Structure 1
Amino acid sequence: MPRLDDHCWSCPCAHGPRHAGRARASAGGLAAKVGEMITSSVSRPSLLVARAAPDSDPSRGPGGTGAGGGSASWHHRLVQRGLVLFSVGVGLALVLNLLQVQRNVTLFPEEVTATAFSSAWWVPPCCGTAAAVVGLLYPCIDSHLGEPHKFKREWASVMRCVAVFVGINHASAKLDFANNVQLSLTLAALSLGLWWTFDRSRSGLGLGITIAFLATLITQLLVYNGVYQYTSPDFLYIRSWLPCIFFSGGVTVGNIGRQLAMGVPEKPHSD
């Protein structure tokens, strides 16, 4: 028979303090692990924020993605586009002015016509500067008016526009009409056809007319001061078809400037 003392030693009451100590120890260890997990989960986001904070700082410099770097990059692309447009203007001025001089449409002094390109030294840089201004102005006006130009936006269309512009200039020097009025009306129709074929924007039409007016006024002042002259002038010292040439030239250079600005972000605004 089991003895009474066996039951007494196996009673749970005898092991109560020992089991209570183990339970407290295990509970304390569990609480410590839970505390470590909470601490690590709280500290990780703060560590990520601390690491990400320098990347979003706009004062990192030109290599960062802040306002300073974006503004410097925008100005760099603006200068590049201006140089390309300046080169285009110089090239067109040399070719087209040579054609006008050879056909005795434009007359320079004798010491000027003896040069390599039969043109005054100031003609190419002036035309290049005008091309840079006009080519940069067209996309700027489009963005301010909120009317992005989307008609025939590809380089093939731009090259065809340049070819038509050169053809209009060639026609002004080669075609013979009974009077200058007929030639002027023909070139006006060709210039409007160029705008309708390759532009069709209200901003392009308005800028083309403004450029034609200002360029014609400047040309009249130059001819009046004896810098050079036109044969058979019929419109205040110049030929009546000259505004048509300036209009078609503005539309052509504007299309080149728009194509160069395609995909370029707008100027960043600093807070």
Structure 2
Amino acid sequence: MRATMTQLCFRGIVLFTTGVFFALMLNFLQIQRLLPALKLPFTSTILYSPWWVPFICGTASAAVGLIYPCVDQKLGEHQLYKQEWSNVMRCVAVFVGINHASAKIDFSSNLQLSLSLAVLSIGLWWWFDRTRSGFGLGVSIAVIATFITQMLVYHGVYNYTERDFLYIRSWLPCVFFSGGITIGNIGRQLAVHDSIDLESKRHRE
């Protein structure tokens, strides 16, 4: 059942806002780790990164959240478990935990960091998704977003030391993968909610 333009716009706004929030949260956690000597207040920490980063993350989140239900429909994928908002919120909580682990836990090496976050990210997909479309889109998002980030660093848009960049590259694909799964679940749940509203309206008519 097709969604109306109003419903699509509402979904996009919710997904955009969610993406901006996740970008600001991750930026806050990483700056706290990488720049502890600055001891910046919360508001200054948020403004420390370029203003366009949250905007791009929000736009990407809106696109991903709208694409997931479409791909599910095309491939005939159905969730193995009945999704509810409480389950989606648990997925968000696990994603926040993965971000927190990447920023706060000191691993012995970047390889250990990558493997640990990879296991957590795949576990998030297994627990809250388990669809081929979700896994495929998550991997695609991780590869494309990591590549774009590396290009931005290579061309000097971001300035990192080699050591810091190796650390960031260790957790970035896993965070993008788990973020794609999380945003996808939010987009799916919004689509289900819209479908229920349309069905109820049709029955009333």
Which TM-score bucket, shorter chain as reference? Answer: 0.7 to 0.9
CA contact (8 A) 2:80 2:130 kept: no
CA contact (8 A) 2:88 2:186 kept: yes
Q: What is the match of residue 200 of structure 1? A: 130
Q: Map 1:37-48 onto structure 2 (within 5 A).
A: none
Q: What is the match of residue 186 of structure 1? A: 116
Q: Share of identical aligned residues, percent?
A: 64
CA contact (8 A) 2:125 2:178 kept: yes
Tell me, in whole angstroms, the C-alpha distance in 2 between the residues paired with 1:188 and 1:98.
Answer: 22
- Amino acid aligned to 1:212: A
Whether 1:145 aligns to 2:75 is yes
Q: What is the match of residue 104 of structure 2? A: 174
Task: Flag the structure with more relative contact order, 1 or 2, with Cα contacts below 8 A and sequence separation at least 6.
Answer: 2
Structure 1 position 178, deviation (Å)? 1.6
Tell me, in whole angstroms, the C-alpha distance in 2 between the residues paired with 1:115 and 1:100.
Answer: 10
**Structure 2, unpaired ranges of 5+:** 36-42, 196-205
Deviations 1:212-259 (A, max 9, x none): 000000000111111224452565x95222101100000000000000
Residues 184 and 256 of structure 1: is their aligned pair in 2 closer, same or farther, counting only changes over 3 Å?
same
Residues 116 and 157 of structure 1: is their aligned pair in 2 closer, same or farther, counting only changes over 3 Å?
closer
Give the helix-richer structure, 1 or 2: 2
Q: 2:49 aligns with which of 99, 119, 127?
A: 119
Tell me, in whole angstroms, the C-alpha distance in 1 between the residues paired with 2:64 and 2:183.
Answer: 7
Tell me, in whole angstroms, the C-alpha distance in 2 between the residues paired with 1:251 and 1:206.
Answer: 10
CA contact (8 A) 1:98 1:117 kept: no
SS in 2 for 1:240: helix
- Amino acid aligned to 1:240: S
- Structure 1 stretches of at least 4 aligned residues deviating more than 4 Å after TM superposition: 113-116
Q: Map 1:130-141 onto structure 2 (within 5 A).
A: 130-141=60-71
**Structure 1, unpaired ranges of 5+:** 1-69, 106-112, 266-271
Question: How many aligned residue pairs are there?
Answer: 187
CA contact (8 A) 1:142 1:203 kept: yes
Q: What is the match of residue 24 of structure 1? A: none
Tell me, in whole angstroms, the C-alpha distance in 2 between the residues paired with 1:217 and 1:85.
Answer: 23
SS in 1 for 2:170: coil
TM-score relative to the length of structure 2: 0.84
